Amino acid sequence: MQACVIPVRDYAKPARRCAALLIKHDMKVEMKMSNPKLATIVLAALLAGPPARAQLIQNLEAVDANGVSTWTPAFPLTITGVILNDPGEMLDSTPNFLPWNSGANAFQLGGQWQIFVQTVWPGDRGGVECWMAQNYGNLPWEPHDGSDSYSDTAWASEVARVSHDPTTGRAFRKGDLVTVTANGSLFYGGMQNINEEHSTEPALDFAVLLVVSNYGLPAPETISLSSVISSNLSPNGHYDIFDPTRTTGGEHWQGMRVHITGLTLATTNGWNTNSDWSARHCTATDGEGRQFPLIHPLYDLGPAPTNTFDATGIFLQESGSGSDGTFGYELFVQEIAPSAPAVLAIALKPVITWPGSLANYQLQSRDSLTSTNWTPVTNTPALINSQNTVILDPAGAQKFYRLQRVQ
């Protein structure tokens, strides 16, 4: 029996070569990789059989200056990543077949199913939505002969198929590492989505396979509203910060798990409604004129916060347009917590700390209580135990300090 050796670096191409050899010959796979989790990913892909066309999410979600997809479709494709939400958190998949009925049920999609998958591959970034619905035939541009809608029985079978690993039968949950193999994809609202292209044809089904159960959710990236919302209108007439290179603004976090700090609710009508997606929206503000949509999950987050809070969840985009993807960013909320207060803590030694989540605060000093001249402290804070920490010169002159929120 021959051996196929995968080195530590540049494992993706050798892995594909080994997969092809495994099909042709009965070969042994020897993993020589420093990262055991990545070794598990590659080994699982090899054992699964012929690899589909692997796709980086950053390529799948690439856009032009109008926020419209520049990705060239090529199927089948496979992505590897971590599920960010339990299937039942976002949409209600309960079977509810409704016929077209001469347009009376237009846009009534019945049961819907959705997960987001965030990449784990080195050098890749972003997340992608995987979505399907029961009544595609109720979309005005689809055939209305019943061929593009699932019966309640067929839909229940489809939901069970994508909600469970086909080998083990285990129900998928957030934190699982999976591969998703897609045979169809559509762009809308600023995101390229994996879906069935509004068809019940089995050839357009996508499949989800378990790689590692309970792999773990990615650590959320901490941002403030000033990172994604501008205080000035863009040329497109929106406040959303859009960057087609995806290095800043909403595109940089699209489809990913994030932690947004310093929010207060401006509207609460969509909080804990446990109803349709469109009715679970409310608006948050940072107190500096910026507003941002929040989407409530299909579970209880508790009473609507009355004070400043932080929200952790999935950063989404719904521009409502197929030709303008420069706006419509929002957060699907999964966790909330009171914001860390902007209070200085001064140790016995000359050390000043403040919460590390307060990304848009600056430490300032002045020489006396009567002085009105506050100046920025030039010492670069270090993040120690989740606290921004500045160590002062004990021989320095007496000063007074404050935190100042900056734009």
Residues 17-47 have pLDDT tens digits of 343 333 333 343 444 445 555 555 555 554 4
Q: pLDDT tens digit string along 166-190?
A: 999 999 999 999 999 999 999 999 9
Question: In the predicted model, is pLDDT for residue 341 greater than 90?
Answer: no
Q: Is the pLDDT of residue 359 over 80?
A: no
Q: How confident is the model over 123-181, as pLDDT tens digits?
A: 999 999 999 999 999 999 999 998 999 999 999 999 999 999 999 999 999 999 999 99
Question: Can you give the chain as a three-state secondary structure string?
Answer: CCEEEECCCCCHHHHHHHHHHHHHCCCEEEECCCCHHHHHHHHHHHHCCCCCEECCHHHHCCECCCCCECCCCCCCEEEEEEECCCHHHHCCCCCCCCCCHHHCCCCCCCCEEEEEEEECCCCCCCEEEEEEECEHHHCCCCCCCCCCECCHHHHHHHHHHHHECCCCCCECCCCCEEEEEECCEEEECCEEEECCCCCCCHHHCCEEEEEECCCCCCCCEEECHHHCECCCCCCCCCCECCCCCCCCHHHHHCCCEEEEEEEEECCCCCCCCCCCHHHCEEEEECCCCCEEEEECCCCCCCCCCCCCEEEEEEEEECCCCCCCCCCCEEEEEEEEEECCCCCCEECCCCEEEEECCCCCEEEEEECCCCCCCCEECCCCCEEECCEEEEECCCCCCCCEEEEEECC
Calculate mean pLDDT across residues 82-88: 97
The model's pTM: 0.77
